[in-house]
Amino acid sequence: MTGQKKLSTHACSVIDAALEKYPAEQKRSAVLAALHEAQHDNKGFLTEELMDAVADYLEMPRIAVYEVASFYSMFETKPVGRHSISICTNVSCMLGGSDTIVEHVEKQLGIKTGESTEDGRFYLKREEECLAACCAAPMMMIDHVYHENLTPKKIDEILAKFK
């Protein structure tokens, strides 16, 4: 299959498993699974080369893959820190002091939202919309794990655990 040489053998096997769920003429249905695996396999971000490889592998237009990768916030198209932080700033969290939480995290990491730390440890991805944990506001998500009822002290303890 074309595109295979840019994707690892493991990534190809994961994509092949995803392809089994769809009719043979609907390979593009596996694009989210394919991009997810390609990103996971490349330290958390997609390159143009990898997106092209996914497009070739799934026999779909490259532009369509770029559109998917740029539409969904779970995909990164530039190098980012190893641990992705998203802080909820929607209504419940805002009322619970999310402004202070954002300020504290930015100060502790020495970066602004949207940036990664120089040591590559953290990526302060974005201010997030409601993550459905309002009863434990304010909250943030690190690598898809929720951290709730945040205080500056609790944040310091959480961040210290990440390498």
Going by their DSSP bridges, the two strands 122-128 and 145-147 should be labelled as unpaired
Task: Write the CA distances from 116 to 56, 67, 108, 141, integer angstroms.
Answer: 31, 24, 12, 16
Write the CB contacts of 1 (distance below 8 Å, at least 6 apart in sequence): 12, 56, 57
User: Residues 34-73 vs ligand FES: string with x where CB under 6 A?
Assistant: ----------------------------------------
Does the footprint of ligand FES cover residue 140 (CB under 6 A)? Answer: no
Q: Which is nearer to ligand FES, 3 or 138 (CB)?
A: 138
User: Residues 100-139 vs ligand FES: string with x where CB under 6 A?
Assistant: ------------------------------xxxxx--x-x
User: Residues 77-96 vs ligand FES: string with x where CB under 6 A?
Assistant: -----------x-xxxx---
